[in-house]
C-alpha cells in the first residue's frame, strides 16, 4: 500500500484522493461515491466488484480514470477487501479506451491532468496487493486493454469482440510502461509483432498469445472470474501480496521514475497537429458510423 501511495503521490494524484471514506460501513459502502463506477464490496467473500458504468461505451474520461484510481486505492486500504473484479455494465463493451472527445483539441494543462490520471489509474491497479481480475464481456481496445493488462487474471467472452493495442495503426508511438506491461504478459516476441503492427485480437487469438487467460461464453464470463477469485483469495494474503509486489516492483519503480518524462513525450506527441488530425478524423468516422 505504501508503495501505491508513494507512486500516486509521485504522479500528483494522491492529493486528490479523499483522506477518509465518508460513506457508511454498509455492504455497498462505496456504491454512492462515484459518478462513473459502481463499487460493491461483499464483506463476507471479501471480494469487490468495480463495475465500469459510463454509457454508451465506457470511454475513459479524465474524471472516470481518477475515480478508478481512487476506488482501487480505497479498496486496497480496506481490510475487508481481498480481491477486486473489474467488469462493465455496458453490454458488449468492456471499455472503448480513452475518451477521444476529451483528447481532441485538448489544452496542454488539461492534457497533463488527463495523462497523469491514466498513469495513476494503471499504476494503482497494477500495484495493488489485493487480487485483481478482469471480466471482459466485450470490446477492450487500447486503454480498455490496458486496464485488463494491469490485473492478475483476465477472462474474455467469446464473440465478435476485439482486444489489443492499436496505437501504431493510428500513427501514434507506444509508450514505455504500456509496452512493458504487454511484454510482461505476452512475451518479447508477441510484443514485437503485436505492438509494431498495432494488432487487435479476437478472443481466441488473444488467448493463444496469452493476452487473456481464458475465453468462455459471455454469460459465463463473470461467474468464471468469480470462481477463480474464490480460489485466489484463499491463498494467504501476506505471502501472495508480497510475491506480487516482488514481481511488479521494478515496473512500478520505472513508471514512478519516468512519469514526468512520459508526460512530456506524450504531450508533445498527442497535442501535435498530425495526431490531433488523426483523432479528429477518427471521431468523424465514429460519428458517421453511429448515424448510419
Ligand X SMILES: CCCCCCCCCCCC/C=C/CC(=O)SCCNC(=O)CCNC(=O)[C@H](O)C(C)(C)COP(=O)(O)OP(=O)(O)OC[C@H]1O[C@@H](n2cnc3c(N)ncnc32)[C@H](O)[C@@H]1OP(=O)(O)O
Nearer to ligand X, 157 or 175 (CB): 175
Cα-based distances in Å from 246 to 36, 70, 129, 219, 251 = 32, 23, 10, 35, 10
Q: Record the cell numbers describing residue 50, joined without a space.
A: 468495480
Residue appearing with cell numbers 492534457: 111
Over the window 201 to 230, marking each residue x when it contacts ligand X by CB under 6 A and - when it does not, the resulting string is ------------------------------
Asked whether position 143 contacts ligand X by CB under 6 A, the answer is: yes
Q: Give me the helices (H) in the chain, please.
A: 2-10, 62-77, 100-103, 108-127, 143-149, 176-186, 188-197, 203-208, 218-232, 237-270, 273-291
Nearer to ligand X, 97 or 203 (CB): 97
Task: Kindly identify the residues of this chain, within the stretch 245-284, that bind ligand X according to CB under 6 A.
Answer: 278-279, 282
* Interaction residues for ligand X, span 145-184 (CB under 6 A): 146, 166-167, 170, 172, 174-175, 178
Q: Which of residues 53-92 bind ligand X (CB under 6 A)?
A: 56-57, 59, 92
Residue with cell 513508471: 255
Which of 41/162 has CB closer to ligand X? 162
* CA nearest to 252, candidates 16, 5, 48: 5
Q: Chain-centre distance of CA 56, in angstroms?
A: 18
- Residue with the CB atom nearest ligand X in the bound state: 97
**Nearest to ligand X of 4, 103 (CB atom):** 103
Binding residues for ligand X, rule: CB under 6 A, are 56-57, 59, 92-93, 96-101, 139, 141-143, 146, 166-167, 170, 172, 174-175, 178, 278-279, 282, 286, 289-290
Amino acid at each position: 500500500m505504501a508503495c501505491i501511495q508513494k507512486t500516486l503521490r509521485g504522479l500528483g494524484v494522491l492529493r486528490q484522493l479523499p483522506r477518509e471514506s465518508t460513506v457508511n460501513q454498509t455492504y455497498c459502502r462505496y456504491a454512492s461515491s462515484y459518478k462513473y463506477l459502481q463499487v460493491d464490496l461483499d464483506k463476507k467473500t471479501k471480494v469487490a466488484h468495480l463495475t465500469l458504468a459510463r454509457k454508451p461505451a465506457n470511454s475513459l474520461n479524465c474524471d472516470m480514470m481518477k475515480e478508478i484510481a481512487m476506488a482501487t486505492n480505497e479498496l486496497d486500504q480496506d481490510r475487508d477487501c481481498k480481491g477486486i473484479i473489474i467488469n462493465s455494465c455496458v453490454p458488449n463493451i468492456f471499455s472503448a479506451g480513452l475518451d477521444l472527445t476529451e483528447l481532441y483539441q485538448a489544452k496542454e494543462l488539461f492534457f497533463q491532468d488527463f495523462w497523469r490520471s491514466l498513469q495513476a489509474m494503471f499504476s494503482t491497479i497494477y500495484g495493488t496487493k489485493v487480487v485483481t481480475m478482469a471480466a471482459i464481456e466485450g470490446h477492450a481496445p487500447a486503454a480498455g486493454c490496458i486496464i485488463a493488462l494491469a490485473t492478475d487474471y483476465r477472462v474474455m467472452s467469446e464473440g465478435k469482440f476485439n482486444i489489443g493495442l492499436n496505437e501504431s495503426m493510428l500513427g501514434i508511438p507506444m509508450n514505455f510502461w504500456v509496452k512493458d506491461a504487454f511484454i510482461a504478459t505476452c512475451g518479447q516476441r508477441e510484443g514485437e509483432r503485436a505492438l509494431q503492427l498495432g494488432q487487435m485480437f479476437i478472443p481466441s487469438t488473444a488467448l493463444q498469445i496469452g493476452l487473456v487467460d481464458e475465453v468462455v461464453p459471455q454469460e459465463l464470463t463473470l461467474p468464471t472470474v468469480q470462481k477463480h477469485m474464490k480460489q485466489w483469495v484463499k491463498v494467504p494474503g501476506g505471502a501472495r501480496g508480497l510475491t506480487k509486489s516482488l514481481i511488479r516492483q521494478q515496473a512500478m519503480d520505472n513508471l514512478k521514475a519516468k512519469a514526468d518524462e512520459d508526460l512530456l513525450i506524450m504531450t508533445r506527441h498527442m497535442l501535435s497537429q498530425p495526431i490531433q488530425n488523426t483523432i479528429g478524423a477518427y471521431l468523424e468516422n465514429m460519428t458517421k458510423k453511429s448515424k448510419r
